Amino acid sequence: MDIFSLKALYRFLLVTTLVAVAAVLSYFYLPERQLSLLPSKVDEYHLFFDAQDGGATNAQWLDENTFQFSCINNGAATNLPYCGISVKIKPPSSQSDFTGFDHIQLSLNYQGANERLRIKMHSYLPPTIASSRREVLKGLDVSFAVQDVNQPIVLNNQIWHQGDEGSFGTKGENLEMDIVLDLVPPFAVGEHILQLQQIVLDGPWISASKWYLAVALCWLLSNLLFFVAFLRKQEKRIRNDSNRLSRLTNYSTNLQQESQHYKLLSSHDPLTNTLNRNGFAEEVMQLFPQGRLKLNTSLIVIDLDNFKAINDKYGHDTGDIVLRESAANMVKNIRVGDRLVRWGGEEFILFCVDTSAQQAQLIAEKIRTSIEKMSINYQQHSIAVTVSLGVGVSSHLEEFDQLFQRTDKALYQAKNMGRNCVVFAE
């Protein structure tokens, strides 16, 4: 089957549409990219605790390389106790911000008696006016029970940037992000061991809008290319069909011409270009379907005199010339509706419809006289030709064979009378 048929076009459109729908739905199953921020992307970090401001809580590193530290509360009353770690994360070198990530995962470890911990994240937006010193702090503050640290803490962009298109960070601002892990007051008395184990950003490799746009463009482009190829194929097919039709038309014309040629050969004598017996029979059948001639149908039987002697003396090629020239001379001396037939050898008949006996005799005499005056020159020889003619006119409803027999007898009488004469059949 032709891949560029109309049926194939519909099938291609259906398949591409189904593939496009499947591609749109597959977006939700695409693998996500991950960006690990700890410790490789940490720009700076520090511990903070209220003992620095006269409080009752101290902090110290247990393993600085793994961001493990302890907060120790001695039990003294403090108005605003605090203790934790602050980590400043810088964007990777491949991008200027953290946009494109949907959520952040934080893996923590805690040992102690406090009931709740807290994660705070924020970034600073620069002033919208260059001369202004006013900055905008955007971020979040999430507290959770210590039982939740058994699994990663997941925060999504709806919490982080509500109302913003994108995700973590501020698009294009090349800003750093601060992440704080601390204890939520009231502090339990004693030692609290905390560790910030891992920070990972998760997000799609490509946004949904870009994915859908790419799918739509691929669908449109593939259909467009196929449709263009389909149109070109159809144009080529139409052109080929047109050429084929032209060739068939020419072939049909040639066949008709050949048919006319063979029809002419079957009905005409090729030497003299006059009707032959087969062609004459068809003419008579068309004129008289019943086989009966009407009155005043004349027949003239013509025979070239001494034609055998011409063949014997000058050869058959000369005889053919004599036959051809004689027939051409006869055609000049007959009427348009008369039918000249080469009956056989050197014998011709002239069939005249609606012709009286007197008219037929005049035509016969005209032919005889014209032939007698004709001179055929061949190889420095001048050949004289004469004809003998028998003339007959049909009686009412007479058959052709009967008329021919009577006329042929008149021809033999003309031969016996010395040739080169006209005899009318009684």
pLDDT tens-digit map of 371-390: 999 988 887 788 999 999 99
pLDDT digits (tens, 9 = 90+) for 252-269: 888 888 777 677 667 899
161 pLDDT more than 50:
no
Measured on CA atoms in the order 161, 165, 169, 173, is the torsion positive or negative? Answer: negative
Q: Would you state the pLDDT for residue 230?
A: 83
Dist. CA 206–CA 31, nearest whole Å: 10
pLDDT digits (tens, 9 = 90+) for 99-125: 677 888 899 999 999 999 999 887 755
Q: Would you state the pLDDT for residue 364?
A: 96
pLDDT digits (tens, 9 = 90+) for 164-192: 444 455 454 446 788 899 999 988 899 99
Q: Would you state the pLDDT for residue 60?
A: 94
Question: Between residues 201 and 61, which one has the greater pLDDT?
Answer: 61
Percent of the chain beyond pLDDT 90?
A: 48
Lowest-confidence region among 2-6, 49-53, 348-352, 371-375: 2-6
4 pLDDT more than 70:
no
Q: Where are the alpha helices (H) located in 72-179, listed in sequence order?
A: 157-160
Spatial contact of 33 and 231, defined as CB atoms under 8 Å apart: no
Helix (H) or strand (E) holding 339: strand 339-344
Q: Would you state the pLDDT for residue 95?
A: 61
For residue 338, the 8-state DSSP code is -
Strands 298-304 and 387-393, sheet pairing? antiparallel
pLDDT digits (tens, 9 = 90+) for 400-423: 999 999 999 999 999 999 999 999
Q: Would you state the pLDDT for residue 320?
A: 93
Furthest-apart CA atoms within the chain: distance in Å: 172
55 pLDDT more than 90:
no
84 pLDDT more than 50:
yes
Q: Where are the alpha helices (H) located in 301-356, listed in sequence order?
A: 307-314, 316-332
pLDDT digits (tens, 9 = 90+) for 197-224: 998 888 888 888 888 899 999 999 998 9
Q: Would you state the pLDDT for residue 420?
A: 96
Q: Would you state the pLDDT for residue 285?
A: 92
Average pLDDT over residues 300-317: 93
The strand pairing partners of 196, in sequence order, are 108
231 pLDDT more than 70:
yes
Q: Would you state the pLDDT for residue 13?
A: 87
Q: Would you state the pLDDT for residue 126?
A: 55
96 pLDDT more than 70:
no
Q: Would you state the pLDDT for residue 304?
A: 96
Q: How confident is the model at residue 281 (pLDDT cuts 50, 70, 90)?
A: very high
Spatial contact of 39 and 67, defined as CB atoms under 8 Å apart: yes
Q: Would you state the pLDDT for residue 121?
A: 84
Return contacts of 363-368, CB within 8 angstroms, 24+ apart.
363/298, 363/300, 363/333, 363/334, 363/335, 363/338, 364/300, 364/302, 364/389, 364/391, 364/422, 365/422, 366/333, 367/300, 367/302, 367/329, 367/330, 367/333, 367/334, 368/420, 368/421, 368/422
Q: Would you state the pLDDT for residue 102?
A: 80
Q: Would you state the pLDDT for residue 163?
A: 38
Q: Would you state the pLDDT for residue 128?
A: 55
282 pLDDT more than 60:
yes
- Phi and psi at 100, nearest 5°, equal 100, -5
b/e map of 355-385 (b: 16 or more CB within 10 Å)? beeeebbebbeebbeebeebebeeeeeebeb
